Amino acid sequence: MEQTTDQKLSIAGKTLNSRLLIGTSLYPNQQVMMDALAASGAEIVTVAVRRVSLDGGGESVFDLLKGKYHFLPNTAGCFTASDAVFTAELAREALETNWIKLEVIGDDETLFPDVEQLLLASEELVKKDFVVLAYCNDDPISCKKLEDLGCAAVMPLGAPIGSGMGIRNPYNLQIIREQCSVPLIVDAGVGTASDAAQAMEIGMDGILLNSAVAGARDPVRMAKAMRLGIESGRLAFEAGRIPRKLYASSSTSLNGMIDL
């Protein structure tokens, strides 16, 4: 897909200055979370509707972040399309947003998506006027089907959730980039800033992460590192890397050299 230099990330008509979307769970405490979010530069934060109280009496994550960030509720913990749709509707009513990060998990060990249920949920939620950002496998066929169903963004995994294994199959991500025109956001598996940079250099439009920052020894500094990694990776993608060659290629011309 052709890219424009300095093109900002746009999802469902919302233009963003940051290409980092970040989670709000697993931090040592709420102050560390707030500081890390600020250091990340992210404008969108994701929250697990089924794991967080929606009426926290002024101390919930929603109360702390409301007005400062764009909420992206997610359907983490859902194993069927019907559960995911119900959770999305709950989030829309409670948070007054039709944006949803759609997760439909196949099992609680690998946390890989259940593609069949994911497609069913995506189709229904799009019909219900949700802005669907769908977490999926790094499978070009599934990603294209999600785009065709009307998902606002497709979010292929880089590696299993929380594994920190980085980008395990960059070749699939390259194929997905070539076949899909909607924003592509790598979701899951990023462990450090170089992983984020690699994904962006492939041509991904953004990164969604949580564990890599929240579980770092210093979450605030890691959040800043991720921001810089994403920025540098995107710049490199826009600049265009030199072709890979098997043999050396001199950067200095041999023409005009003194004959010894």
Helix (H) or strand (E) holding 71: strand 70-74
Q: Which of 127, 170, 171, 173 is nearest to 154 (CA)?
A: 173
Domain boundaries defined on the chain: 12-239
Amino acid in position 38: A
* 237 three-class SS: helix
**Strands 70-74 and 44-48, bridge-based pairing:** parallel
Which architecture characterizes domain 12-239 according to CATH?
Alpha-Beta Barrel (3.20)
CA distances to 51, 152, 203, 208 from 138, in Å: 26, 17, 14, 14
Instruction: Give pLDDT, residue 4.
Output: 45
**pTM, rounded to two decimals:** 0.88
8 classed as catalytic: no
Rounded-to-integer distance, Cα 238 and Cα 123, Å: 33
Distance CA 146, CA 132 (A): 10
Each residue's pLDDT tens digit in the chain (260 positions)?
A: 444 456 899 999 999 999 999 999 999 999 999 999 999 999 999 998 866 555 544 457 888 888 899 999 999 999 999 999 999 999 999 888 999 999 999 988 888 999 999 999 999 999 999 999 999 999 999 999 999 999 999 999 999 888 989 999 999 999 999 999 999 999 999 999 999 999 999 999 999 999 999 999 999 999 999 999 999 999 999 999 999 889 987 776 667 666 66
Region of 73 on the Ramachandran plot (φ > 0 left; ψ -120 to 50 alpha; else beta): beta
The strand pair at 20-23 and 44-48 is best described as: parallel
DSSP 60: S
Residue 53 is predicted with a pLDDT of 56
Q: Which residues contact 9 (CB under 8 A, 6 or more apart)?
A: 15, 16, 18, 19, 183, 205, 206
Coil/strand/helix, residue 223: helix
Candidate list 14, 101, 127, 145, residue with the active-site label: 101
Q: How far is CA 6 from CA 17, 18, 119, in A?
A: 10, 12, 33
Residue type, 177: R
